[in-house]
Amino acid sequence: MKQNSQSVHNNIMVVALPDHPYYFELIKHFKVRTLDEAINSFDTYELVIDLSPLRTQKKFLFLKELAKTTKADIVSDLTLCWGEWIMKYSPQVKASVSTLFYSPNNAFEYSLRDELDSEMVKTISQFAQTMNQKMIQHKDLKLSFHYPRTIAMIINEAYFAVGEKLATAEDIDLAMKNGVNYPLGPIEWGQKIGLHNIAQLLEELSTITRDDRYKLSTELKLQAFKYL
């Protein structure tokens, strides 16, 4: 279990893994726990911020275990989950965030169970500020957060194109930056987010919707394979 002498938020437990984009900032300010540590903790907290990179089923089971150890409100990262389903069946989750995907603008989406919950907005805002991030509200979360699902589809298509030898990865990045002003090329964007995260999200969307549009590019799967 990590002890952090710089912790300024002793009443908050954060669940995160070392590959979370905020990890180095998180350990400066919070008690950061792994999943196992979190569900075996006997400490009391006012709030749990769960940033674990889990898909719907595993997230649900984890949140269920977590709820046995604490009565604290939970803010959970649902980047890789069917958001609406988790919110329906995990009542202790009062708000959700999407922090797992690298943002070129240092910002994340959040969604509230109760849109009038101003206390929760304040809490998430403090967290965002501590992490040097901006936050944008996503009302009435349904299938998934907007940014991750959209960018995942763009990156997947870029990998389909690489796999079909439409162009080199370098030219695809150059084309998207210079033809339509993308802040990053999709290939470099995918590297920053982590192809395993892209693959996990698309597989989750595919599982939930049974829609072929979320089919993973073989090239992306190949590159992400070591993580799967």
Partner 1 sequence: MKIEKVVVIGSGTMGQGIAQWFAQQNCQVQMVDQNYEFALKSLEKIKLSFSKLVDKGKFTESQTKVFGQNLSVKKLEDIDPLADLVIEAIIENLEVKKELFLTLDKLLSSSVIFASNTSSFSITQLAQAVSETRKNNFLGLHFFNPATIMKLVEVINGLETNPEISKKIIEWFNTRKKVACLCSDSPGFIVNRVARNFYGEALRAVETYSPEKFSEVDLVMKEVGGFKMGPFELMDLIGIDINLSVTESVYRSFYEEARFKPHRLQRDLVLAGRLGKKSGKGFYQYETK
- Interface of this chain with partner 1, residues 178 to 207, rule: CB under 8 A: 178-184, 186
Kindly tell me which of 27 and 136 has the beta carbon lying closer to partner 1: 136
As beta bridge partners, residue 47 has: 12, 73
- Interface of this chain with partner 1, residues 9 to 28, rule: CB under 8 A: none
Among 175, 196, 203, 221, the residue binding partner 1 under the rule CB under 8 A is 175
The conformational region for residue 194 under phi > 0 = left, psi -120 to 50 = alpha, else beta, is left
**Closest approach of Cβ 84 to partner 1, in Å?**
13
Among 2, 88, 122, 146, the residue binding partner 1 under the rule CB under 8 A is 146
Q: What are phi and psi of 107, to 5 degrees?
A: -150, 160
Q: Is 69 helix (H, G, I), strand (E, B) or coil?
A: helix
Q: Is 218 in the site for partner 1 (CB under 8 A)?
A: no
**Whether the Cβ atoms of residue 180 and residue 115 lie closer than 8 Å to each other:** no
Q: Is 149 in the site for partner 1 (CB under 8 A)?
A: yes
First to last CA, the chain: 26
**Whether the Cβ atoms of residue 70 and residue 161 lie closer than 8 Å to each other:** no
Q: Is 26 exposed, middle or buried (0-12, 13-18, 19+ CB in 10 A)?
A: buried
Using the rule CB under 8 A, give the single segment among 19-27, 50-58, 116-124, 140-148 that binds partner 1.
Answer: 140-148
**CA 11 to CA 7: how far, in whole Å?**
10
Among 2, 104, 119, 222, the residue binding partner 1 under the rule CB under 8 A is 104
Q: Is 136 in the site for partner 1 (CB under 8 A)?
A: yes
Binding site for partner 1 (CB under 8 A): 103-105, 107-109, 134, 136-139, 143-147, 149-151, 153-154, 156-158, 160-161, 164-168, 171-172, 174-176, 178-184, 186, 211-213, 215
